[in-house]
Amino acid sequence: MAANYGLLGEHLSHSYSKQIHEALADYTYDLIELSKEELKDFMTAKDFAAVNVTIPYKRDVIPYLDELDERAKSIGAVNTVVNRNGKLFGYNTDYYGFLYTLKIHNIKITGEKVVVLGNGGAAQAVLAVLRDLSAKEIVIVDIVPGEGVCTYEEVNRLHTDATVLVNTSPIGMYPKVDASPIDITPFTMLTAVVDVIYNPEVTKLLAQAKNRDLIAVNGLQMLVSQAFYAVQHFLDTTLEEAKIEEVTQMIRETLY
């Protein structure tokens, strides 16, 4: 399947990436659904100018790349691949998307204790940003505990003094909108909650944060801003940052 620009993933029917990219840049952007068996042929054929990569292939594409930038290498995941004369270059713009979200909402990380729910692909860019911004302590929580990862029971027992909470898990995402990954009632020191989910606009987790007048931010700006930074790699150009808010508002009106 030839594609100049597009999104590579397994299930993409609910993706808004096409609308976002085509609002940011003057090209056609395709949704490229591939099974795990089809991925190898697509990547080795290199029949594309540039693609974004989403679940579950952010790590799977790495062996097919000729070069990884330092950010993608340290995160261990790629969401942007650019074909330059038959050589594939990998980047991670999720990092900059999350960084932009924190900046635009004035969420302070330096010196703060941050709880991150989930430890999958979406969490890795978030964790890299938190480390680079010198969070005082980062507590990773997952249903599968391991080295450096605690359980939900442990976070409720030991870490309710966190000031920022970030949900990178899919719990609460449409259509299972009645679910929440955690009850934040015991977390009396919280100032901000970020949920990388963008559908629904207000997850059950964010509704709880809003009821306490905390900073409560969903994942829509992260989605648009990671695309904004990807476009600049795709086209080797610079865009005005104001475009992020313009496109975010457009998608918000479409989505909600």
**Which sequence positions are flagged as catalytic?**
58
What are the tokens at 41?
């042929």
- At residue 203, what is the residue type? T
For the chain, give the secondary structure using H, E and C.
CCEEEEEEECCCCCCCHHHHHHHHCCCCEEEEECCHHHHHHHHHHCCEEEEEECCCCCCCCHHHCCEECHHHHHHCCCCEEEEECCEEEEECCHHHHHHHHHHHCCCCCECCEEEEECCCHHHHHHHHHHHHCCECEEEEECCCCECCEECHHHHHHHCCCCCEEEECCCCCCCCCCCCCCCCCCCCCCCCEEEECCCCCCCCHHHHHHHHCCCEEECCHHHHHHHHHHHHHHHHCCCCCCHHHHHHHHHHHHHHC
Please say whether the beta carbons of 190 and 162 come within 8 A. Answer: yes
The sign of the dihedral angle between the CA atoms of 199, 202, 208, 213 is: positive
- At residue 32, what is the residue type? I
